[in-house]
Structure 1
Amino acid sequence: MKRIPYMLLLASLLLNIYSAAVWGFACYAHSGVAERSTYYRQFTAGSDPRTFSVGAFTVTLLSLIVFIAAVRKLRGWYIAVAIVQALFALLYVWQLS
């Protein structure tokens, strides 16, 4: 049971890295917003970027809450991972605005 929060956090972190990489490649490859969305849909199973951002934000926030609740003392790399997850959550909020 102790590994579940870590696995959830790792899965969320991998999802965030994948999403950021795909969006970065879309921005690099295409100048128009419609072209970026089409390119993004190819790599996210046809999901709209805004819909994907809402889902990823929810997963990120939930995994961060579960992780912080499971870890008794935040120190070392735990703090770094929590900060990175919080930054990804802010990135998704920024994408939605």
Structure 2
Amino acid sequence: MLSRITRLADISRLYVKLPAPCRTGLYMSAHAAFLTRTLGAERLVWGSDWPHTQHEGRVDFAKVVEHRERLGPLNDTKAIGDLYGPSMD
């Protein structure tokens, strides 16, 4: 599937949400590295779905955040601003 991304005619508006590992069962680091090289870190959004994971018995928020840190540098703030507009903080 990842190679299909590089065959798209226009990826300039493509954003990808990286899930917590309990959602995919995959080790996401290689996928995140490919997507970062292909799209740029500013077009990746990470989401844990916590506390509504349906996996609370085998994973907790600290483990999910630890996994996020292993994915490398992401600029969620820029991606979220691009997708939803400036923050109302």
Which range, TM-score by smaller chain?
0.3 to 0.5
Q: Which structure: greater strand fraction? A: 2
Name the TM-score, length of structure 1 as normaliser: 0.31
Name the TM-score, length of structure 2 as normaliser: 0.33
